Amino acid sequence: MPAFADYQAAKAGLESYSRALAAEPAPYGVRVNALGPGRTATPGGEETRRRWASGDADPGATAVPPLGRDGRPDDITDAALFLVSDRASWLTGTYFSVDGGEYPRN
């Protein structure tokens, strides 16, 4: 599956589900947000890097994210900590793409 179609569909589904679900618990002060991490420098990311080296990568991704590096685990956790903090108390139904600009948005 060179284009990771199942993975991309799952991410799109999560984004849509989060937006729709957010309205239900909002009157109770419960916020629903989703976090979409991009390629992250972890042992699990080795498979992605192997695919890039072999030329069998997701055509929607870039060889190097526009910010010039793979994400670090703390890039993802910092975004998650923001979303659960009081500083994000007015956010619900959002999808945060934390990918260094890897996937173009229209």
Domain-embedded: residue 37: yes
Domain-embedded: residue 104: no
Domain-embedded: residue 77: yes
Q: Decide: residue 45, CB within 10 A, 0-12 exposed, 13-18 middle, 19+ buried.
A: middle
Domain-embedded: residue 26: no
Across the chain, which has 106 residues, the per-10-residue mean pLDDT values are 71 90 96 90 74 64 76 95 96 92 67
Give the domain range for residue 43. 5-14+33-98
Q: For position 58, what pLDDT does the model report?
A: 60
Domain-embedded: residue 56: yes
Collapsing DSSP to helix, strand or coil, 59 comes out as coil
Q: For position 24, what pLDDT does the model report?
A: 95
Q: Which residues contact 59 (CB under 8 A, 6 or more apart)?
A: 2, 3
Say how many domains are in the chain.
1
Residue in the structure block whose two tokens are 């284009």: 3
Q: For position 1, what pLDDT does the model report?
A: 40
CB 100 within 8 A of CB 65: yes
**What is the pTM for the complete model shown?**
0.75
Q: For position 47, what pLDDT does the model report?
A: 72
Which residues are designated catalytic?
7
